[in-house]
Structure 1
Amino acid sequence: MTERIADAITGVSPNHDAGSTPAAPGRTAPADGTAVGGPALEYRPGRWIANWDAENKAQWESLGRGIARRNLNWSIFAEFLGFVVWQLWSIVVVQLPSAGFRFSTNEIFWLISMPSLVGATLRIPYTFMVPRFGGRNWTIVSALLLLIPSTGLALCVGNPGTPFGVMLLVAALAGFGGGNFASSMANITFFYPAREKGWALGLNAAGGNLGAAVAQLAVPIAVTLLAAGAVNLPVAGLMWIPLILLAAFGAWKYMDNLTSAKGDVAGSLAAVKEPHLWIMALLYIGTFGSFIGFAGVFPKLIKDYFPTFSSIGVGTVALSLAFLGPLVGSLARPFGGRMADRLGGARMTVTAFAAMAVITLTMVWTLPLANFWLFLTLFLALFTASGFGNGATYRMIPVIFALHSRAARSGASTVATQRLASSALGLISAIGAYGGFVIPQVLNASNTASGSYTPAFYGFVAAYLVMLAVCWACYLRPAARHGKGHV
């Protein structure tokens, strides 16, 4: 009985011991029905699993679901920490003046945006790391890489004499956290059958996105806790090191590599030639790019517009309400995907862009009222709309490539179009993440040129309307119900 309880907690099958290789090389799983329609699972040294077939219902129901869930749980935890590290500089920069740093507004925006630039770029090679090294192995490596920017941040912010160039380099290293999303999503997609893949990937993405919210909640509290009215900025990096080590240990002990996880460079090259990839990448910059971009600048905007609300004292600690933005955006993402399943991704994406444009305009027009709570409410609505759009846009991609890609129109098989869609998802997620760099830089340029962020917000409204028109013209206007659902 105690063994069953332990198995339920860890998700480890009795046939797959968590602390060692489950079976000797070449030994197969017992004939318990998992081999129906295909060979039984074979456990190899280094926690490699051969003969994995999530579409084999007998294998899935007997052993596969538990193994997949266990890998998903640790993948979410590792990706969550990746988002935490990715967003650390956006929180720390607003505390730099009180710690004795004297950086210009332009330099502050570069510290905010550099992690997104590097993280978006790393998403492309990270997509191919899982097939090359194994999902478990790469999760260990990618988690341990987070120790570098975390430790580097602690060292830099502890010395007000740290040159800006060094600070910028360490901020760039935080991009390791942004790359984790691509490898994590690529890994989990191999574990789940098509009928459950959307929900699993949605949980994985939402769990990761929540890292931005938790970081923005926890860091201001931690750096002021027992600091006697000052700030202890090195804690912002050091506090995550035990959790990073735990994630790496958990991946080593409980996760698995799949021999069936194969790279698809050819599929990526084919996807790049598809016009739909670039259209969807534009739309994803508008949805996810807005989410991650505004998550990065929200603490800075609150401090610039409403400095008295930048840090709210609660006892001996300081609290920033900026965490509410990425929190509601993360929670809205699964609902965007679910509504897209019911009503069509294109329709929900158009709705999201319309809402984002209206909310942004309303926020700009009400700024003269100098009402913080109205500003906060409207920005939370903007985060909600962008998160909703994330889920809806992401859901569109496999349907579009299955029905409207050049490969689909030329009569390619379902397997071929699925490979194309899988490659497109990775590339689109990478391109969309560049929004995290673009939004802070546009705001910085606007402030430098005019002394105000307002022109930048009008530019965002115009961009949302253009993206709305593109989505409507390309997918909603000609849309009709297909056998696989609305686009």
Structure 2
Amino acid sequence: MSAYTYTRKHHISGWDPEDVEAWENGGAQVARRNLLWSIICEHIGFSIWSLFSVMVLFMTPKYGISLDQKFIITATATFVGSCLRIPYTQATAKFGGRNWAIFSAVVLLIPTGLTMMLMMNPGKFGFGWFLFVAALTGLGGGNFASSMTNINAFFPHRHKGWALGLNAGGGNIGVPVIQVIGLIVIWLTTDKAGIVCAIYLVALAFAGIGAAIYMDNLDHQTASYRSMVACLKYRDTWLISLLYIGTFGSFIGFSFAFSQVLALSFKSAGAHNPTLAAAQIAWIGPLLGSITRPIGGKLADRFGGGRITALCFALMIASASILVVAGTVADGHLKHKIETPQLIAFIIGFILLFLISGVGNGSVYKIIPTVFEHKARNNSGLNAAGKIVWSRTMSGALIGIAGAVGGLGGVAINLVLRSSYKQHQSATTAFWIFLAFYVVAGVVTWWFYARREIVLHEQTDTRPAASSDPSAVTA
């Protein structure tokens, strides 16, 4: 391990994952150990971010929280978590990957403990308290950005896709896991929501201690707000962010809202215990969306990110159409009563949207490096080293921006559903809006990224010498 210095203070100097000899002589083990605990911390962070998607199932009328307030609570958590992805991207460079992983786990003890307090005292705390605590759970949403940035620095380019895919997928699965735990608690106890919080208080302590013992800080992590600002001047930044609203925004938005929509649908259909019925199904969608994310990346590697993303939006249009038709039929019944055929159609439509949005998450992220690599190769003002640096810097910046903006799509989904139920006593209007958005996103994808797919051919000079001229890496 002569390629770098490793101290007992968990600080590594001179880390170079591209050094094959150092990587094979222990570097890989260090990186994988950090990856494992990064996945654990991010996984639990995602669970806490989606905590209120489970808690709303326990909120009976005695809590004094109305239906539209429940949608606002979950939208608040989504909004805060999305916004925090920008500063969290920079945190590992300033404080160290290990240090920030410890902090990000320990700080989540606060909203988890407060949620337990609220749920164990129904009727004693008003809507403002729930809104405040839901905002604090948004801290878990920021974990994704810091975790991905940290792991990106540990692995060589030849293994980044594998490592980042595991990290992202492991985090996303935190959503269905907490929903399964909620299902088990509802099945066993009906109204003991505090048990879910207690489980995660222990899990957070475990993650924080594990990060302190097994994770490391690197001395050369860099992150720049300047690159994010520079990225905003490119049209592709805005277009790709729009597409990510349709894919990741759908995933996280439906993850937060699906259980509520199902509970309302089962109640309308006359189910004996609509909460339990909803909990039995709600976790399936987020699980499928998490599993199919890396599949989207693999398909995009083979067929092109633009083409796969365009196909995803075409399939999402078809899936949303199922919801529209079922909702329209149900609205024609007395008091918008949902019968069994419409209930089955709702479940199928939502499950398909989860499944396809997961594929789209991976394929949209494939477009990002392709676009900026293409721009770099055609920029005559950059030398070989400058093109590589600029392409990677802009791609990293856009990944952070798109991740934050995409999360805001989840906010919009919750707010649109809330408005639809409040004004029309059904979700059909919301389904029409989702359908219209997928049509717009599909057209944008086809026109800018699929109609003439960018094909990058291998270059013979893949490892150019670094230039000493600062202007060489200036776009």
TM-score of the pair, normalised by structure 1: 0.87
Specify the alignment match of 1:370 in structure 2: 340
Amino acid at match of 1:324: I
Quick check: 2:179–2:279 contact (8 Å CA) kept in 1?
A: no
Query: Is residue 310–residue 320 contact of structure 1 (8 Å, CA) maintained in 2?
Result: no
**Structure 2 CA distance for partners of 1:215 and 1:56, relative to 1, 3 Å:** same
- Name the residue aligned to 2:295: 335
Native 8 Å contact 2:244 2:406 kept in 1 = yes
- Of 96, 107, 110, which residue of structure 2 is paired with 1:145? 107
Aligned residue runs from structure 1 range 226-265, under 5 A: 227=189, 230-265=190-225
2: distance between equivalents of 1:321 and 1:62?
Answer: 46
SS of corresponding position for 1:165? helix
- 3-state SS of the aligned residue for 2:18? coil
**1:344 counterpart residue number:** 304
Deviation per CA, 1:445-469: give whole Å up to 9, x if none: 1222322211111111110110111
CA distance in 2, matches of 1:92, 1:390: 27
By how many angstroms is 1:46 displaced?
2.2
Q: Specify the SS of the correspondent of 1:49.
A: strand
Aligned to 1:21: none
**1:115 paired to 2:77:** yes
1:156 maps onto 2:118 in alignment: yes
Q: 2:263 aligns with which of 299, 303, 315?
A: 303
Correspondent of 2:158 among 195, 203, 226: 195
CA drift of 1:407 comes to 8.5
Counterpart-to-counterpart distance in 2, 1:474 and 1:415: 25
Whole-Å separation in 2 of the counterparts to 1:330 and 1:76: 14
CA distance in 2, matches of 1:478, 1:232: 55
The amino acid that maps onto 1:426 is G
Query: 2:238 corresponds to which residue?
Result: 278
Correspondence for 2:333: none
Query: Alpha-carbon deviations, 1:354-385, whole Å to 9, x = none?
Result: 11110110122134353333432232111000
Does 1:395 find its partner at 2:357?
no
CA spacing shift, 1:443–1:459, aligned 2, 3 Å: same
Q: Distance in 1 between matches of 2:274 and 2:174?
A: 20
What is the rounded CA distance, in whole Å, between the counterparts of 1:198 and 1:137 in structure 2? 24
Deviation at 1:269, TM superposition (A): 2.0
Q: Do 2:106 and 2:205's aligned partners in 1 also have CA atoms closer than 8 Å?
A: yes
Partners of 1:77 and 1:409 in 2: CA distance:
44
Aligned to 2:91: 129
**Residues 407 and 417 in structure 1, CA contact (< 8 A), matched pair in contact too:** no
- The letter for the 2-side match of 1:401 is F
Quote the residue 2:146 is aligned against. Answer: 183
Q: CA deviation at 1:349?
A: 0.5
1:393/1:480 CA distance change after superposition, 3 Å: closer
| Counterpart contact for 1:224–1:232, Cα < 8 Å | no
- In 1, distance between residues paired with 2:104 and 2:181? 23
What pairs with 1:81-120 in structure 2 (closer than 5 Å)?
81-97=44-60, 100-120=62-82
For 1:168, the equivalent position in structure 2 comes to 131
Distance 1:58 1:272 in 2: 39
Q: 2:167 — aligned with what?
A: 204
The TM-score, its normalising length taken from structure 2, stands at 0.89
User: What is the letter of the counterpart of residue 164 of structure 1?
Assistant: F
Q: Which of 431, 435, 444 pairs up with 1:461?
A: 435
Q: Deviations over 1:199-242 (max 9, x none)?
A: 211111111000000111111312553x3xx4112222121111
- CA distances 1:104-153 after superposition (whole Å, capped 9, x unpaired): 22211111111001001111110100000100110000011110111010
Matches within 5 A, 1:49-88: 49-88=12-51
Matched, 1:324 2:287: no
The yes-or-no answer on 1:428 pairing with 2:402 is yes
1:474 is matched with which residue? 448
- Residue identity in the other structure for 2:265: Y
Supply the distance in 2 between the matched residues of 1:231 and 1:406 (Cα, whole angstroms).
Answer: 59
Equivalent-residue separation in structure 1 for 2:379 and 2:421 (angstroms): 46
Deviation, 1:45, is: 4.7
Deviation of 1:473 after TM superposition, in Å, equals 1.1
Say which SS state the counterpart of residue 183 (structure 1) adopts.
Answer: helix
Q: Distance in 1 between matches of 2:144 and 2:57?
A: 26
In structure 1, how many angstroms separate the alpha carbons of the residues matched to 2:392 and 2:423?
Answer: 46
Are the counterparts in 2 of residues 90 and 111 from structure 1 also a CA contact under 8 Å? Answer: no
Letter in 2 for 1:114: T
Residue 283 of structure 1: CA displacement?
0.6
Q: Structure 2 vs 1, CA of residues 143 and 484 (structure 1 numbering), >3 Å: closer, same or farther?
A: farther
Gaps of 5+ in 2: 330-338, 460-475
Aligned residues of 1:340 and 1:392 also touching (Cα < 8 A):
yes
Partners of 2:417 and 2:381 in 1: CA distance: 44
What is the aligned residue count?
440
Alpha-carbon distance in 2 for matches of 1:398, 1:67: 27
Contact 1:54–1:60 (8 Å) recurs in 2: yes
Contact preservation (8 Å) 2:284, 2:351: yes
RMSD: 1.9
State the secondary structure of the residue aligned to 2:12: strand
Opposite residue 87 of structure 1, the aligned amino acid is S
Percent identity between the aligned chains? Answer: 39
Q: Structure 2 vs 1, CA of residues 375 and 135 (structure 1 numbering), >3 Å: closer, same or farther? A: same
Map of 1:10 onto structure 2 = none
For the 8 Å contact 1:223–1:235, the answer to whether it is kept is no
Quick check: 1:404 aligned with 2:404? no
Tell me if structure 1 keeps the 8 A contact 2:370–2:456: no
Supply the distance in 2 between the matched residues of 1:58 and 1:239 (Cα, whole angstroms): 43
Partner of 1:418: 392
Given candidates 414, 420, 423, the residue that maps to 1:449 is 423
Task: Answer whether contact 1:86 1:115 (CA < 8 A) is retained.
Answer: yes
In 2, Cα distance between equivalents of 1:365 and 1:437: 24
Larger helix share, 1 or 2: 2
Q: Which amino acid aligns with 2:183?
A: P
- Asked if residue 361 in structure 1 is aligned to residue 321 in structure 2, the reply is yes
User: In structure 2, how many angstroms separate the alpha carbons of the residues matched to 1:370 and 1:236?
Assistant: 31
Residues 223-282 of structure 1: CA deviation (Å, up to 9, x unaligned)? 553x3xx41122221211111111111111111111111222322221122221111111
